[in-house]
Chains A and B, each alone.
Chain A
Amino acid sequence: MRRALWLAGGLALLLWPWAAPPYFVFLASLIVVNAIVAIGLNLLSGYTNQLSFGHAGFLAVGAYVAALLTIHAPALPVVAALLLAGLATALVGLALGIPCLRLEGLYLAMATLAFGFVVVEAILNLDWITRGNDGLRVPVARLGGLALASDTAKYYLVVAAGALLVWAAANIVRTRTGRALLAIRESEIAAQASGVHVAAYKTLAFVVSAFYTGVAGGLFAFIVGYLSPDAFDVFLSVDFVAMIVVGGLGSIPGSIVGAAVITVLYDTLAAFQNYRPLIFGVILIACMLFMPGGIASRVRFPVLKGDNA
C-alpha cells in the first residue's frame, strides 16, 4: 500500500507538466521551492525551537550566489551552482547561528529579522557585483549541453532537487541528529544530561536550515529569472513562518503541505489586490486559532513513516 502511494505520487509529479496547463507547472515549481525553504525553516524553528524571521535573507544569499556563479562561470553545471549556493548560505548560517546561541524567543526573532535587513543592505552595497536596485538578470541554467529554459525543464530540475532534499530531511529527522534537535526543543537540560552538545546542535540546525534555504534560493533564481533586493523583504520571511505554522511545526510533510497552501493562497489572493494582505492575515489568524498544531496535527500522513512529530 505504501509502495503504491509512493509510486502514484511520483508518477503524478513526473506527469504533471504534461497534464497541467503551463501556469500550473510554474506554480508547482514555486511550491516545491517554498517547500524546501519550509523544511529548512522547520528544522530550525519546528525541531529546535529557534524562531527565524530572516529566511528571506538566506534565500537571497543562495539566489545571488547561484545567479552570479552562472553569470561568471557559464560552463558550471547547474547542480554545482546549486550545491555551492547551498554551501555558501550554510556558511552564512554558521556565522549567524553562533552569536544567536545566546538568544532565544523574542530576541532571537529580532536578531534574525535584523539579519534579513542586513542581507538586503549588503546586496545594495555590493552593487558592483549584485547590480543593487537595478536587479540582476539570471541566465538560463545549464546541465551539460542542455539549457533548462522552459518552465517544464525548470520544473524537473526543481522536483529532482526537492525530492532529494525531502528524502535527506526525512532521513535526518528520524535518526540521531533529528532526535537531538527535538530533544533540545523539549528540554535543554535533559538533552545535555543525555550527552547532547546543545550549542553544537543548535548551530548545526542553523547551518542545515541555511543550506536548504540556499539551495532553494538558487532554484528560485532560475525559475524567476530575475533578482532584485525588493524580492526578499521581511514579508517573505513572515510567509515562510506562516508555511510551517499552518503546515505543522516539527513535521516534514506538514512543511510541504504548508508551503503548498500558502503559495496557492497567495497566488489566488493576488486578484484581491490591496485587500490581499488583509485577507491573508485573517486566514492565518484563523488557522492558528482553530488549528494550533497545523495541518499535520489534523491529518495523518502515512507516507513518511518514522517522522517524529
Chain B
Amino acid sequence: MLGVEDLSISFGGLTALDGLGFRVAEREIFALIGPNGAGKSTVFNVVTGLYRPSAGRVRFRGADLLGLAPHQIARRGVARTFQNTEVFRTLTALDNVLIGGHAHLRGGLLRAALGARLVRREEAAARRRARALLERLGLADVAGVEAGGLPLGLQKRLEVARALAAEPALLLLDEPASGLNPTETQTLMALIRRLRDEDGLTILVVEHDMELVMGISDRVAVLNYGRKIAEGKPGAIATDPAVIEAYLGSADG
C-alpha cells in the first residue's frame, strides 16, 4: 500500500535520511522505531508532503506522492497526528473534528454565504459524524471545550479523532503514547487495533514506548542515523544485535 524507496534528505549538511526504504501492506500496523534523531518524524514529514526529499520515491496505492502538496496527499487518504500535538487550540473539540472532515464537504463559499439548503444539510450531517467520532474516542463530554485547554492525553485523542474524520486509508501516528500513563496507553493500543480490525485502516506508527510497539505492531523497522538497520516481526527485532547496539550506543551518548 505504502512504498518508500531509497529516500534521502539532508538539512544544512546533516543527513536526516539516507537511502531509506520500506513497504507497508494493506491493513498492516507498521512501527518505525529508533533513537532520538534517527529520522522517524522526517519520514512522516516526507510522506505527508511537508519536506521534499533530495532522492527517492514515495508510492501510495500505486501513485507517486512526491510533488504533491500536503493537502492533496491528505485528500488521497493519508491522515496524521503530530508529535507535539497540533490541535487548533482556540477552537472547540467539535470544530477540530469538523475541520478533519474538511475534504468531504462540498459546500463552497457562495452557497454557504447564501445559506443554501445543501450546505445546511451537509453541515448537519458532518456535525452528527463528528459527534459520533468524539463519542467513540471518549471525548463527547468535552465537545464544546477549547482544544488548547484540554489535558495532553485528551489532545492526543482529539488529534486521532480529527485524523479519522478525514476518513483516511493510511493513518500516521507520531508518538501517540508519549505523555500517557500506562492505563491510557492500554486504551490507546486497543483503539489502534480496532481501527485496523474494524475500520480496515493501515497504520504507520512512530513510537518510543516499547510496550506499545511490541504489543500492536505486525512489523517493525529500526532506524539509526537515517538508515534502516533492521526490519521484521517485533520478537525478532527485540533480539537483533544491531538494534541493541544502536540503543545502547544512544544511551551512552
- A pairs with B: yes
Flag if A172 contacts B88 (CB, 8 Å).
no
Contact status A191-B69, CB under 8 Å: no
The complex places the Cα of A178 from the Cα of B112 at a distance, in Å, of 9
Stretch at the interface among A60-68, A108-116, A150-158, A182-190: A182-190
Give Cα A195 to B109, complex, Å. Answer: 16
Report whether A175 and B74 are in contact in the complex, using a CB–CB cutoff of 8 Å: no
Residues on the A chain within 8 Å of B69, using CB: 192, 197
Residues A182 and B109 in contact, CB atoms below 8 Å apart: no
B70 at interface by CB-CB < 8 Å: yes
Q: Does B180 contact A (CB under 8 A)?
A: no
User: Is B50 in contact with chain A by the CB < 8 A criterion?
Assistant: yes
Q: Determine if A196 and B91 form an interchain contact, defined as CB atoms under 8 angstroms apart.
A: no
Take A186-B88, A196-B102 as given contacts and tell me if A171 and B114 are in contact as well, using a CB distance cutoff of 8 Å. Answer: yes
Q: For residue B61, which residues in chain A have a CB less than 8 angstroms away from its CB?
A: none
Q: Is there contact, CB below 8 Å, between B109 and A189? A: no
Chain A residues touching B, range:
20 to 34
* Chain B residues positioned under 8 Å from A177 (CB to CB): 107-109, 112
Q: Mark B45-78, 1 if CB is under 8 A from A, else 0.
A: 0001110000000000000000001110011000
Separation of A194 and B105 alpha carbons in the complex (Å): 12
1/0 per residue, CB under 8 A from B, across A168-211: the answer is 11011001111110110011011111111110000010001000
Contact among B50, B107, B109, B115 for A208, CB-based, below 8 A = B109
Shortest distance from the beta carbon of A302 to any chain B beta carbon, whole Å? 15
Let me know if A309 is at the binding interface, CB within 8 A: yes
Q: Is A168 in contact with B113, judged by CB distance below 8 angstroms?
A: yes
B88 in contact with A190 (CB, 8 Å): yes
Q: Which residues of A contact B74 (CB under 8 A)?
A: 192-195
In the complex, what residue of chain B is closest to A197 when comparing beta carbons?
Answer: B71
Complex CA gap A255/B49 in Å reads 37
Whole-angstrom CA separation of A123 from B98 in the bound complex: 44
CB-CB < 8 A to A183: which residues of B? Answer: 88, 91, 99, 102
Q: Which of B153-203 contact A (CB under 8 A)?
A: 162-163, 165-166
For the complex, is A228 an interface residue (Cβ under 8 Å from B)?
no
Please state if A175 and B112 are interface contacts (CB–CB under 8 Å).
yes
Contact B112 A187 (CB under 8 A): no
Shortest beta-carbon distance, B171 to chain A, in Å? 11
Q: Return A274 CB to nearest CB of chain B, in Å.
A: 40
Tell me which residues across on chain B come within 8 A of A180, comparing CB atoms: 99, 102
| A306 and chain B: residue at smallest CB distance | B123
> Considering the chains assembled together, what is the distance between the CA atoms of A197 and B108 in angstroms?
13
Shortest beta-carbon distance, A203 to chain B, in Å?
12
Q: Which residues, 125 to 174 on B, are CB-close (under 8 Å) to A? A: 162-163, 165-166
Looking at B34-42, B79-87, B215-223, the stretch in contact with chain A turns out to be: B79-87
Nearest-Cβ distance from residue B150 to partner chain A, whole angstroms: 14
Contacts of A168 in B (CB 8 A): 113-114
Are B89 and A186 within 8 A (Cβ)? yes
Question: Does A308 lie within 8 Å of B109, measured CB to CB?
Answer: no
What residues of A have a CB within 8 angstroms of the CB of B86 in the complex?
187, 189-190, 193
Please tell me if the beta carbons of B102 and A176 are within 8 angstroms of each other in the complex.
yes
Q: Return chain A residues, CB-CB under 8 Å to B79.
A: 193-194
Q: Can you list 20 A-B contacts with CB-CB less than 8 angstroms, sorted by A residue number?
A: A168-B113, A175-B112, A176-B105, A177-B108, A179-B95, A180-B99, A180-B102, A182-B95, A182-B99, A187-B89, A189-B70, A192-B50, A192-B74, A194-B99, A194-B100, A195-B74, A195-B103, A195-B166, A197-B71, A204-B109
Q: Which residues of A contact B (CB under 8 A)?
A: 167-169, 171-172, 175-180, 182-183, 186-187, 189-198, 204, 208, 250, 308-309
Known: A189-B70, A190-B87. 15 other contacts (CB 8 A): A171-B115, A180-B102, A182-B88, A186-B87, A187-B87, A189-B82, A192-B69, A192-B71, A193-B74, A194-B79, A194-B99, A194-B102, A195-B74, A195-B102, A204-B109
